Structure formats: structure tokens, C-alpha cells
Chains A and B, each alone.
Chain A
Amino acid sequence: VQLVESGGGVVQPGGSLRLSCVVSGFTLSDHHMDWVRQAPGKGLEWVGRSRNKPNRYTTEYAASVKGRFTVSRDDSKNLLFLQMNNLRTEDAAVYFCVRGFHSFDHWGQGTLLTVSS
């Protein structure tokens, strides 16, 4: 099992960015997938979930990102996405792609988002 995130970078407040996570070693459609973030020097914060195909890919979000962030996937390409709009300085963090099996059993290495003018 491997998860590899990409797409992080520097964005101005109010801007948008899409993170990607390519997975391997398992069938993406079988699994719930999550995004978790960690601000510099801080703890872990769950961001959102895309449920698996049997659960119709329905989503859940933390209140802090609801209406601004969208989790989606392309199972045919083994890709998970996090579309982030209207970014705020407090969204700056390392974003981890996580497989949501037995809680969170496998994590990517993370990709860093910086929000600064």
C-alpha cells in the first residue's frame, strides 16, 4: 500500500489549489479515503472523507472547511483529490492523504500548503 500526495505550494489568501493523492497496492473504490492536516508545530486535524463506492462516494467535512473544500476521486486512475477554495491563512498545513480502513491504517508522506500574501 502506498499513498503519494502532490500539489502543495504557496497560495495567496482567497486563492484556490487542488491536492492530489495517487494510491497503489489496493483497490481505491473499495475504501473510504480521508484528508488530515497538520499546521506547523501543531496537532492533527481531520479535514474530510470520501466514502467508498458501495457508499456512493458520499462525503463528510470538518466544519472549518465545509463549503470551501471538496474531496473527490477518480478510481480509474487511482487518484484522490482535495479541491481547496477561498483559502485562509489558517489553512496552512501539511495535508496527508489517508486510507480510512480500521480507522486510518495507511498515510501518505504529506504535501505542504502555505497561504501567504
Chain B
Amino acid sequence: DIQMTQSPSSLSASVGDRVTITCRASQGLSKNLAWFQQKPGKAPESLIYDTSILQGGVPSRFSGSGSGTDFTLTISSLQPEDFGTYYCQQYDRYPYTFGQGTRLDIQ
């Protein structure tokens, strides 16, 4: 199985900050890497697929990049509604696997 490791596990940032979350795969991937945001008590919501393509309706302050084993989610200017837990996921090979999550708090 492909292991997905996110860093950091948690972070706290201020409104307006640039935030970066990293996801590392145990094996090289093609472009099939996605990012999700989950708020407490809610279902996850898709932010990005195919490494860098924003799902419809996702604000442009979110962006994704990377290749091979290293991928990044960036929030260019943090907003109050961006709190929650972020997960990366590979859908390159079965079984699909998620990172352990990064909890983002707003200071």
C-alpha cells in the first residue's frame, strides 16, 4: 500500500498568513493526488484533484502543486473560514489511501 504522510500534523496561523501543508507518498505517484477539507462534525469537502486542479466553487486562494512523492497544498491568504482538518489522498493505485490529516487552527 502507498503510505501518505502529512506535515505538520497541526498548525496555528493568523488571518492573512500564507499556509503550506506537505504530503509525502511512500511511492511515486502520477498526478492522482487530491486534497480535502473537513470541519468538525461535517463530511469532508473536495478542494483539489489531479494535484493542482481546483474543484468548482473552491476559492482561488487554495492551490496545489507537486510531483512524484512530494505534494503541497497552499492557502495564499488565510481566511477565518479555513479552519479545519486537511487531508491528502492518493488515487493512483488501490487501495486508495489518505494522509493522517493536518489540523489548522486560526489564531
Contact = CB atoms under 8 A, between A and B. Distances in A.
A binds B: yes
Given A34-B96, A103-B34, A105-B49, 17 more contacts: A43-B98, A43-B99, A44-B98, A44-B101, A45-B98, A46-B89, A46-B95, A46-B96, A49-B96, A102-B49, A104-B44, A104-B46, A105-B46, A107-B46, A108-B43, A109-B42, A109-B43
A96 to B, nearest CB: 6
B98 A46 contact: yes
Interface of A: 34, 43-46, 49, 60-63, 96, 102-110
Contacts of B45: 107
Interface of B: 1, 32, 34, 36, 38, 42-46, 49-50, 53, 55, 87, 89, 91, 94-101
Contacts of B94: 49, 60
Contact of A44 (B44, B53, B95): B44
Nearest to B56: A105
Given A102-B50, A102-B55, A105-B46, A43 B97 contact: no
A32 B85 CA distance: 26
Contacts of B91: 103-104
A44 B87 contact: yes
Given A44-B89, A45-B98, A46-B98, A107 B50 contact: no
A102 B97 contact: no
Nearest to B33: A103
B98 A96 contact: no
B89 A104 contact: yes
